[in-house]
Chain A
Amino acid sequence: MIILSLVIGLVVGLTVTAFILLTGRLAARMYPPNSAAWRRILVPTAGALVSGWLLVRYFPNARGSGIPQTKFALFIRNGVISLRTVLGKFACCSISLASGMALGREGPSVQIGAGIASIIGRRFGLGPANVKALVPVGCAAALAAAFNTPIAAVLFSLEEILGDMHAPVLGSVVLSSATSWMVLHLILGDQPLFHVPAYQLVHPLEFGIYVVLGVAGGLGSVAFVKLLLWLRMLFKRFPRSTLWLQPAAGGLGVGLMGWFMPQVLGVGYDYVDRVLGGDIPITTVAVLAILKIVATPLCYGSGNAGGIFGPSLFIGAMIGGTVGGVAHLLLPGLTAAPGAYALVGMGTAFAGIVRTPLTSVIMIFEMTRDYAIIVPLMISNLISFMISRQLQPEPIYEALALQEGVVLPTGESREELYGARVSEVMKALSEATPLLAPDSDTGAALAFLDRRQCNSWPAGEGHFTGGLISRRDLEAAPRPGMKVKDLLDSENGFPHVHADHPVSYALERMREGGVDVLPVVSRASIHEISGVIGLRDILESYGVPDAAFFSRSIPG
Chain B
Amino acid sequence: MKRGTTVAILTLIVVCLAAADQFLARVESAEVRNTAEHSYATGSRLLENGKAREAIDDLRDAHSLERQNDLYAIQLIAALTSAGRINEAEPLLTEVLQREPNDGRASLAAAHLMERKGDMAEAEAYFHRAIYGQWQDNTDARRIAVRMELIDLLAQTNRKQELLAELISLQAESPADAGIQRRLGPLFLEAGSPARAIDVYHAILDKDHQDIAALEGLGEAELEEGQYRAAREAFDRAHELDAENESVRNHLNTLSTVTGLDPTPRQLTSAEKYRRSRRILEMAREQYGACVTDVAQNRTTVAAADAALARSAPAHVTNEAAEEVLSIAEMLWHAAPAACAEKSEPLRLIMRKLAA
> Which chain B residues numbered 8 to 30 have a C-beta less than 8 Å away from chain A?
10, 13-14, 17-18, 20-22, 24-25, 27-28
| CB pair A11 B22 closer than 8 Å | no
| CB pair B67 A11 closer than 8 Å | no
- With A18-B24, A279-B64: A125-B2 Cβ-Cβ less than 8 Å: yes
* A84 CB–B CB distance under 8 Å: no
Stretch at the interface among A21-29, A59-67, A528-536: A21-29
**Chain A: interface secondary structure?**
helix
| CB pair A123 B6 closer than 8 Å | yes
- With A11-B14, A279-B60, A337-B91: A21-B67 Cβ-Cβ less than 8 Å: no
> Which chain A residues numbered 298 to 356 have a C-beta less than 8 Å away from chain B?
332, 337
- With A7-B10, A277-B64: A21-B95 Cβ-Cβ less than 8 Å: no
| CB pair A198 B10 closer than 8 Å | no
| CB pair B91 A124 closer than 8 Å | no
Cα separation A188 to B18 with both chains bound (whole Å):
12
- With A24-B28, A120-B10, A278-B88: A198-B18 Cβ-Cβ less than 8 Å: no
Cα separation A187 to B21 with both chains bound (whole Å):
7
Chain B residues, CB < 8 A from A22: 24
* A381 CB–B CB distance under 8 Å: no
Cα separation A331 to B126 with both chains bound (whole Å):
29
- With a 10 A CB-CB cut-off, give which of B22, B24, B28, B88 has the most chain A CB atoms: B24
> Which chain A residues numbered 531 to 546 have a C-beta less than 8 Å away from chain B?
none
Chain B residues, CB < 8 A from A279: 60, 63-64
Expressed in whole angstroms, the minimum distance between the Cβ of B117 and any Cβ of chain A is 15
Chain B contact residues (Cβ within 8 angstroms of A): what range? Answer: 20 to 34
Chain B residues, CB < 8 A from A125: 2-3
Nearest chain B residue, comparing its CB with the CB of A7: B10
| CB pair A270 B21 closer than 8 Å | no
Expressed in whole angstroms, the minimum distance between the Cβ of B77 and any Cβ of chain A is 13
Cα separation A442 to B168 with both chains bound (whole Å):
112
Nearest chain A residue, comparing its CB with the CB of B5: A123
* A197 CB–B CB distance under 8 Å: yes
B-contact bits for A375-394, CB 8 A (1 contact / 0 none): 00000000000000000000
Our pick among B3, B28, B88 for the contact of A21 (Cβ within 8 Å) is: B28
Expressed in whole angstroms, the minimum distance between the Cβ of B130 and any Cβ of chain A is 23
Expressed in whole angstroms, the minimum distance between the Cβ of B279 and any Cβ of chain A is 62
Our pick among B6, B24, B87, B98 for the contact of A124 (Cβ within 8 Å) is: B6
* B31 CB–A CB distance under 8 Å: yes
| CB pair B17 A198 closer than 8 Å | no
* A273 CB–B CB distance under 8 Å: yes
Chain B residues, CB < 8 A from A278: 88, 91
* A274 CB–B CB distance under 8 Å: yes
| CB pair A277 B6 closer than 8 Å | no
Chain A interface residues toward B at CB < 8 A: 7, 10-11, 14-15, 17-18, 21-22, 24-25, 28, 33, 120, 123-125, 187-188, 195, 197-198, 270, 273-274, 277-279, 332, 337
Question: What are 6 A-B pairs with beta-carbon distances under 8 A?
Answer: A18-B21, A18-B24, A124-B6, A195-B68, A270-B64, A278-B91
